[in-house]
Every structure is written in C-alpha cells, then in structure tokens.
Amino acid sequence: MRILKWALIILAALVTGAVALGYTPDTDATAMRAKYGSAASRFLTLSPGLTVHVRDQGVRNGRALVLIHGSNASLHTWEPWVTRLQSQYRIITLDLPGHGLTGTNPNGRYDMESYVDVVDQVMQQLGVPHAILAGNSMGGGVSWNYALSHPEKVDALVLVDAAGAPSAKSRNMPIGFRIARMPGVRALAEVITPRSMFEASLKTSVYDPGFATPQMVDRYWELNRYPGNRAATLARFAQMGQNRAATPARLAAIKVPVLIMWGQEDNLIPVAAAHWFHKALPTSQLIIYPKVGHIPMEEIPDQSAEDVKRWLADLPLAATP
C-alpha cells in the first residue's frame, strides 16, 4: 500500500508539473474575431442559441455552393476555392460548432445529425432552398449525410477526401487525432495543446511538409484554442459512436451527381476510401491526385477548383432560385 501511495503521489506530481509547464490558455475571442474574421464574416444565431460564423460570398444570384470543412479545421480551408470560384457561384462557408470562430453548441451535441441540422439552419437563414454541397474529411461525411436527410435540397455533391467509408483506416494518423482518442490523456488536451502538436499534425496531413507554413500552423493552433473549442473537440470524439456508418445500401439513396476528389498520399483517410465511395455511388466521378495529401483544395487550389468548375459546367442542374 505504501508503494502504491507513493506511486500515486509521484504520478500526481508529474501531471501537475506537465500542466504547469505545458499549460496553453484559451485565446481571446475578440482578438480571434479581429484576426480571423473578415468583411464577409457574419454571425448567425440558430436554435438553440448557437452562434455560427458564416461567410456568404460570390455572385448573389448565382448557383449556391455550400462548403463544409473537416475536423479541427475552419472555413478558412476553403478560401482558395472561394477566390477561384466566386466570380461564377454564390459560395457559403461556415465554421461548424466546436470549430473556428463558432465555439460551443449550447446543446452539447457535435455528432453528424447535429451538424446536418446546423447546415440546414444556415441555408434556411440565408434563403438558400437548394445547393451544391462540398465537404472535406468530416465535412464530406456531413455532406453525404445531409444529402440523405434532405435530398430535395441537394443539387450535387463534391466529396473531398471524405469521411465515412467503413474500411478507411489511417496509415499514419496525426498525433492530435491520436491524443484525442486516448481517454487517459485527452483530458489534459483541454489545457495542454502545444503548437508543435499542430505543426506535426499538419505536416502529416499534407504531401509536402513545407506546405504547412507558420501562418497556417498558427491559424489551426489559435482557433483550436478559441473559447470552448477544445472541450467541444473532446465531446465530439466521445460522440462519434452515435454516427451511422456509410453502407452501399444507404448511399444508394443518393441520386444526384457526385464528384469524388482524393489525394493519392492522404495519410488520414487513405485513397482506398475513394474507391469505396466510387463503387458505392453509381452517379459518381472519381479524380485521384498524385503527390497530394488530405486537403487538395489547399494543396492544389488551381487544379482542384478548375476540376470542380469543369465538372459543374457539364451537369444539368436545377435552376437557381
């Protein structure tokens, strides 16, 4: 018993020391809105009292394109596409709850169903009856789930290294994702999130590690520490079991055109998942990018945006509202 007692004391001392040395406080919400907001930023109030950071850019009467970011990212990941597509489309981006400048959801929910509801409320508030949905990683999962829940509101889908394929196992999951899945460690992640962890995660997620610039690392690190986001991240990982998995039978209900875009060197969701989606979605077209990782819209913005533009131009989509 004495040995156990001293072992617990030593462990407590080590944990206390780690917290004292590695403690990283929340960022200041006002400072973050000033730094990472823009003239296009709006903050919509949704039910139940959730405030969501949204940008509505491009051609007001153009066809609507709703872009949904991935896990631990933000709407900033889509800015390269916004720059290249806004002259032809109305482009709506948003920070999902627990991400970016949105912060926590008052109802404490961060599962796919709740994210689908947030996207739908944003579209309703902005007067968008139907749209083309594009999602990266987790946002891809939100997109195909939205298409299943609201088929009448989806004109087409663009899945960019999307989540949801049942056999998609990461070859080299970034350290930040691994820590968030470790029950004994993740509680510390709410107060200890070193910048180096985000730098390592970003460099693992892209093909060229040099692509992860100091400015990009700062953005991910600082927005992750936006008040409430770290606790929301832990809650989201705990709620992952509530998400329904994709199956060929479920995806067969998606009848709209689908473009699947994937980085050949994706370390987070391997390219095998792209082929699984392509097989499960008969209406899909598949593009694989060599020497590209998990975020093609940022890694190769010119090519990926041009491919989307070309694909959409050939589709007989519904008339704009």
Q: Which two tokens stand for residue 136?
A: 């990266």
| Domain assignment present for 12 | no
* pLDDT of res. 315: 87
pLDDT of 246 over the 60 cut: yes
| Domain assignment present for 124 | yes
Greater model confidence, 11 or 182? 182
Instruction: Give bridge partners of residue 50 from the DSSP assignment.
Output: 46
Greater model confidence, 226 or 174? 226
* pLDDT of res. 226: 98
What average pLDDT does range 30-50 have in this prediction? 97
Domain count, the chain: 1
Provide the mean pLDDT of the chain.
Answer: 89
* pLDDT of res. 12: 37
**Can you tell me which residue has the tokens 């060197």?**
265
Instruction: Give bridge partners of residue 287 from the DSSP assignment.
Output: 261
| Domain assignment present for 237 | yes
Residue 188 CA to residue 305 CA, distance in Å, equals: 39
Give the distance from CA 12 to its chain's centroid: 35
pLDDT of 1 over the 80 cut: no
pLDDT per residue as tens digits for the range 196-208: 989 999 999 999 9
Residue 217 CA to residue 209 CA, distance in Å, equals: 12
| Domain assignment present for 44 | yes
* pLDDT of res. 186: 58
Sheet holding 41-46, edge to edge: 41-46, 50-58, 89-94, 63-68, 131-136, 154-160, 258-263, 284-289
Contacts of 115 (CB under 8 A, 6+ apart): 68, 96, 97, 142, 145
In which domain, by residue range, is 151 found?
24-313
Beta strand 63-68 with 50-58 is unpaired
> In percent, how much of the chain has pLDDT > 90?
78
Residue 45 CA to residue 106 CA, distance in Å, equals: 12
Neighbours of 11 (CB within 10 A): 10
pLDDT per residue as tens digits for the range 169-193: 555 555 545 555 565 555 666 678 9
- pTM, to two decimals: 0.89
Greater model confidence, 321 or 288? 288
| Domain assignment present for 9 | no
8 Å CB contact between 175 and 151: no
| Domain assignment present for 232 | yes
Which of helix, strand or coil describes residue 55? strand
* pLDDT of res. 317: 65
In this structure, what CATH number is given to the domain that contains residue 248?
Answer: 3.40.50.1820
> Quick one: angle between helices 195-205 and 214-224, nearest 10?
120
| Domain assignment present for 5 | no
pLDDT of 168 over the 80 cut: no
Query: Within 13 Å of residue 11, how many CA atoms lie on the same side as its CB?
Result: 7
| Domain assignment present for 321 | no
* pLDDT of res. 7: 40
Is residue 94 exposed (0-12), middle (13-18) or buried (19+ Cβ within 10 Å)? buried
